[in-house]
Structure 1
Amino acid sequence: MRLRLDLAYDGTDFHGWAAQPSLRTVQGELEKALATVLRIDTVPVTCAGRTDTGVHARGQVVHLDLHPDVLAGAAGRSDAPAPDALVRRLNGVLPADVRVHRAAQAPDAFDARFSALWRRYAYRIADAPELVDPLVRNAVLAWPRPLDLDAMNDAADLLVGEHDFAAFCRRREGATTIRTLLELRWDRDASGLAVATVRADAFCHSMVRALVGCLVAVGEGRRTPEWAGELLRAAQRDPGVTVMHAHGLTLEEVAYPADADLATQAEAARVVRTLP
């Protein structure tokens, strides 16, 4: 059977999502906990989006495959449904900076990575002294200068759509940098923080933090909003674009189509894209 897990984590003390020898990672901790609870040697999982070192998640999604008897056995004498019992037992052995929120059987066609329609991230900045809260310092970037969100949104409008985001990505051999940026905007939340909402069908490595770095330069007045469009058209990394600190970034949500469309979406997502 295929099982879906929804989880959250504080990325501060992790070397990113992906398992790495001798390094503490979210995948490594989750797979270790699953092996302990399910009493099997290995439990490989696939996630919706690999987060970098220091990046957090509220809405990460993973899938794994296991025999129904293994899941039932992990529930022990609990009267709760087996997936609910698994959540309780996982949270009993996971470290405090990782929590599994839900577990449920998923359709066979569900793929946490390729079936996703979009991922939504938030980047939070405290750009005034009175906004800097030491209690959330691991999830909010403290910035020493005020930001003009109107100018940042003018620049953001130039980046929305399907484009080659090579100017904002670290290239990987054989990988495309074409993505569809569905939403990019800045707002003030109830406390006054500057919050970027960044939603796309997929992201390149460091793309979100590079987009934020570009827009912060505009918000400070060091660059004009038009500069963002110029960078995009140039389609190559510019040393003027700062990749922002990881700790301000959180994966908030991943969306999926109806069950009947999961396989079609996964197939489409595997196609290497080109622009007309």
Structure 2
Amino acid sequence: MRLRLAVSYDGTQLHGWARQPGQRTVQGELEQALSMVLRVPVNLTVAGRTDAGVHATGQVAHCDVSAEVWREHETRLVRRLRGVLPPDIAVPAVVRAHPDFDARFSALGRHYVYRLTDHPSGPPPLRRADTVGWPRSLDAEAMAEAAGLLLGEHDFAAFCRRREGATTIRTLLALDVVREGGLITVAASADAFCHSMVRSLVGALLVVGERRRPPQWPAALLSRTERAGDVPVAPAGGLTLVHVDYPVDEELAARALVTRARRG
């Protein structure tokens, strides 16, 4: 039986999603907690493998257990997980999923928000974990102009840390820059993101915001086939995965086939 988990976490003290020997990771902590509660080994598949220091309020994962195990723990699993998970990880919901559901390959889109402030006082104390204090003033209008030029399907190699065998072609659905007082949010949506892509996009927008490059500069980098060394990677602490989109159950299998096909 396939289970779908809603997962949220404060990534400040975590070394990303993927399990690593000797390191605290979301996957490692969560699999350990699930195995302890369910009393069976659990292996999780996740929608998006976030980096060290990145947060999530809308992460999605799935795992498979027997029907007997699910019947025994269905009504109390969320509460029991709360009792064994560390305070920086939470599972707000666990539901039975369609057999074709795949947290990674069924996803239609991922949505991230990056928060930063250029206010002289820095981030509000209660938001210091997910808001980066930027030391210089930023031109949010120039950042928004630059962001609009990056939309669409492109090879984002200049903004990605390449992984062997992985494509860097992505469809950027939205990249919105909004200022509210001293707070600037960058909302990024795509069918999928490659390694460090969101933080690199934000880093390029910050260069524009500081008026060190014109708004056309980030889009001009799309012609490159290798990572651009002059694109900084924004600090991890400002980035949060907020939502993952999925199709209706009848379209899950077809979506997985499309996602697994390598784009060229």
Query: Does structure 2 retain, via aligned residues, the 8 Å contact 1:131–1:193?
Result: no
Query: Does structure 1 retain, via aligned residues, the 8 Å contact 2:162–2:227?
Result: no
C-alpha displacement of 1:149: 1.2
Aligned twin of 1:138: 129
2:108 is aligned with 1:117 = yes
Query: Does structure 2 retain, via aligned residues, the 8 Å contact 1:45–1:64?
Result: yes
Cα-to-partner distance string for 1:219-248 (whole Å, 9 max, x where unaligned):
110000111111112233222210111011
Aligned twin of 1:108: 99
C-alpha displacement of 1:154: 0.9
2:85 is aligned with 1:94 = yes
Aligned twin of 2:9: 9
Q: Kindly tell me the number of residue pairs found equivalent between the two proteins.
A: 264
Cα-to-partner distance string for 1:163-204 (whole Å, 9 max, x where unaligned):
000000011121110000000010124x64100000000111
SS in 2 for 1:51: coil
What amino acid is the match of 1:144?
Answer: P
Tell me, in whole angstroms, the C-alpha distance in 1 between the residues paired with 2:157 and 2:123: 33
C-alpha displacement of 1:131: 5.0
Aligned twin of 1:60: 59
**Structure 1 unmatched runs, 5+:** 76-81
Percentage identity across paired residues of the two chains: 57
Written as runs of structure 1 = structure 2, the 5 A alignment for 1:193-212 is 193-212=183-202
Query: Does structure 2 retain, via aligned residues, the 8 Å contact 1:185–1:198?
Result: yes
C-alpha displacement of 1:129: 1.5
Aligned twin of 2:153: 162
**Structure 2 unmatched runs, 5+:** none
- TM-score, normalised with respect to structure 1: 0.93
Aligned twin of 2:47: 48
C-alpha displacement of 1:137: 1.6
Cα-to-partner distance string for 1:93-142 (whole Å, 9 max, x where unaligned):
10110110111100000000000000000000011124522332221110
C-alpha displacement of 1:215: 0.4
SS in 2 for 1:230: helix
SS in 1 for 2:76: helix
Aligned twin of 1:235: 225
Cα-to-partner distance string for 1:30-50 (whole Å, 9 max, x where unaligned):
00000110012x200100000
2:207 is aligned with 1:217 = yes
Query: Does structure 1 retain, via aligned residues, the 8 Å contact 2:122–2:134?
Result: no
Q: Which runs of 4+ in 1 moved over 6 A?
A: none
Q: What is the RMSD of the two structures over their aligned residues, measured on CA atoms?
A: 1.1
Tell me, in whole angstroms, the C-alpha distance in 1 between the residues paired with 2:110 and 2:141: 24
Tell me, in whole angstroms, the C-alpha distance in 2 between the residues paired with 1:103 and 1:120: 21
Aligned twin of 1:147: 138
Aligned twin of 1:226: 216
